[in-house]
Structure 1
Amino acid sequence: MMMSIIRHLHKTALAALILLVSAHLPAFAATGAAAESSEWQCPESLQQTLPTLEAGKLQLCDTVKSAKAVMIVNTASMCGFTPQFEGLEALYQEYKDQGLLILGVPTGDFNDQEYEDSAKTAKVCHANYGVTFPVFRKGCIRCDDPQPLLALGQEASDTRAKWNFYKFLLNTKTGEAEAFSSMTKPESKKIKKAIEKILAQ
């Protein structure tokens, strides 16, 4: 009789434990899902593939999410700031192995300082300045339908580019971005500090 009571108590305790654990499982799952969903997700505008100067194509979302920090730059081949390509390449070489990606988007919105011929733009980037980071075909930034990366940079930083070589530094974990004007050189301490802050997260 006593053994039957003990066995019954054991079964009751086990059942209670199972119910207790089961009741908390949804909460644990919800917490994990919330943490996962809190990370920045690519907008619909990046769900496309665009051609680069290098004769290849890149899927925008996959490209952006492949890095911790992405610097999006509206470049121009015939601008007084064009020599910043050199600083951008140096910045890329310094931080690319730590998670920085630089993406150039040539535009002619400001005084029409970009070639229509992609081969000429490619020569400026690659032959003149030795650029190795991806540069897309010509787009626009001050138009009704800006190039998706430039639209993202402006929206995320709440800043409209006022000239060529604006630099939009995107944190791909949070979706937040910081804008740096044409006057801020790529090798400046201000930009490096911002990059390092993102990479350290």
Structure 2
Amino acid sequence: MALPWALAVLSLLPLLDAQSPACSSNFSVPITNASLDQISGKWFYIALVFRFPELKKEASELHASFYYLMPNHAEDTILTREYTTMSGQCFYNFNNLRVYRENATLSMYYYGADHYVHLLLPKDPKTFMLAFFKDKQNMGLVLYADKPEVTPEQMEQFYDYLTCMGMDKSEVMYSDEKKNLCLPLEKQHDEERRKEQERSETGTALD
């Protein structure tokens, strides 16, 4: 199971040469160390729009998702850990994203090719978005926030970007945190990491 944004890129050719919507200069704002620090940490999938016909059904089965982003400034990569509830099951996955600073894009290596998404940073630092566009029939937008619920103002930012890209509110699919089945697995992983850290610290102390 891939990150939620990978639902879109599975069937797309690389998008670095695609033209971003002319109505928003934010699609080409370079990624900086500050940008990477801003998206570091735990995030929740909130809402998405995918116009890729073959992916709408799969996206509709995505109930909830939260994940951790761990940027590496020196290597221009982002390590990800994701917990996704889909079709009534919890899936865990980790991946490594490549950062292209000047193009404001992130890439994921999938099925022998790199696939790209544009990182969008709204005014509210507690949210960010990922955009895909190939043409009007093949585009998408995903909203993430640092909490499973967002404010009306945060949603309005998302809707503004939808309008910018020529999409409509009626196309939006929303997460449902009540259906999140991954909290026990996250707790298990946290406990395992805690024990591993304790063993590592004990070993260092003995040395």
TM over 0.5: no
Q: Say which structure is richer in helix.
A: 1
In the superposition, the TM-score normalised over structure 2's length comes to 0.28
